[in-house]
């Protein structure tokens, strides 16, 4: 069964600090992996998309890594801001219409 | 640019009442359209997807149904709501290519009492 597991489930850090969120997956076949940011009560917004051949991709203060051999991905947030408080969802695609979603990491940035 | 709208934003309905949620997309043609449900503390669950007018694929058995009367309109319906239908409903669209990247709408919060 295809699964995406994320850790930690929740995280609280001080404003300005860095953090790393983890994603492990068992989806096969693998096409691409995405990280989404979801503010409370809003729809998810894409941060990065990585294919099998890409092992890192950045979007401003967000940097995603992918190790397709170990089926792991991470999302690193640098110099966190209050607006980074949200849920971060790891999503893996088989290359068709179906995506497998993780349950997300709830990140809270405190001043 | 493309935009996606969902209506209504929030809804409180009694058990046994009907449901109609609407999703419309602007700025693109022939999109794939999706309905997801997000329960508290759980990942998004794909309910339906559509690759064209009148073409609906259902992912999970339930008392919900979907219709696509126009190219950029996707409707989620129920004849009789259950308590378990409460949740956050998200519509999304994608186009072929571009890794089938999906773009989500703002969502509808449904509470069934």
pLDDT per residue as tens digits for the range B74-87: 999 999 999 999 99
Percent of chain A clearing pLDDT 70 (strictly above): 99
Residues A73, A78, A82, A83, CA torsion sign: negative
Specify the length of chain B in residues: 113
Q: Judge whether A32 and A93 are in contact, CB under 8 Å.
A: yes
Q: How far is A26 from chain B (nearest CA, A)?
A: 15
B4-58 pLDDT tens trace: 999 999 999 999 999 999 999 999 889 999 999 998 777 899 999 999 998 998 8
Interchain proximity B42–A103, CB inside 8 Å: yes
> Which residue of chain A is at minimal alpha-carbon distance from B6?
A43
CB within 8 Å of chain A, chain B residues 53-112: 57, 59, 88, 90, 92, 94, 99-107, 109
Q: Is B43 on the interface with A (CB under 8 A)?
A: yes
Environment class of B107 (CB within 10 Å of its CB; exposed 0-12, middle 13-18, buried 19+): buried
Taking alpha carbons only, the member of B62, B64, B56 closest to residue B32 is: B56
Q: Which residues of A touch B42 (CB under 8 A)?
A: 103
Q: What local confidence, expressed as pLDDT, does residue B38 receive?
A: 92
Q: Judge whether A26 and A32 are in contact, CB under 8 Å.
A: no
CB within 8 Å of chain B, chain A residues 26-85: 31-32, 34, 36, 41-46, 49, 51
Interchain proximity B49–A99, CB inside 8 Å: no
In this prediction, residue A105 has a pLDDT band, given cuts at 50, 70 and 90, of very high
Q: Which residues of A touch B103 (CB under 8 A)?
A: 46
Mean pLDDT, rounded, of chain B: 91
Taking alpha carbons only, the member of B91, B11, B104 closest to residue A39 is: B104
B93-109 pLDDT tens trace: 998 766 678 899 999 99
């Amino acid at each position: 069964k295809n699964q995406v597991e994320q850790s930690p489930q929740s995280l609280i850090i001080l404003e300005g600090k860095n953090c790393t969120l983890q994603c492990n997956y068992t989806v096969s076949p693998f096409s691409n992996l995405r990280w989404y940011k979801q503010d409370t009560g809003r729809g998810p917004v894409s941060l990065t998309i990585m294919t099998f051949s890409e092992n890192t991709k950045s979007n401003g203060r967000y940097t995603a890594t992918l190790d397709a051999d170990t089926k792991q991905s991470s999302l690193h947030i640098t110099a966190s801001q209050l607006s980074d408080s949200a849920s971060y969802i790891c999503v893996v695609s088989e290359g068709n219409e179906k995506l497998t979603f993780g349950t997300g990491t709830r990140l809270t940035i405190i001043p | 640019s493309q935009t996606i709208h969902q209506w209504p934003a929030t809804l409180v309905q009694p058990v046994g009442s009907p449901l109609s949620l609407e999703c419309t997309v602007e700025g693109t043609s022939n999109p794939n359209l999706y309905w997801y449900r997000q329960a508290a503390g759980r990942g998004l669950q794909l309910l339906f997807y559509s690759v064209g007018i009148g073409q609906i694929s259902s992912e999970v058995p339930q008392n919900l149904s979907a219709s696509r009367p126009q190219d950029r309109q996707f409707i989620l319906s129920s004849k009789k709501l259950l308590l378990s239908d409460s949740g956050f409903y998200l519509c999304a669209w994608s186009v072929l290519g571009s890794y089938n990247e999906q773009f989500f709408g703002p969502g509808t919060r449904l509470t069934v009492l």
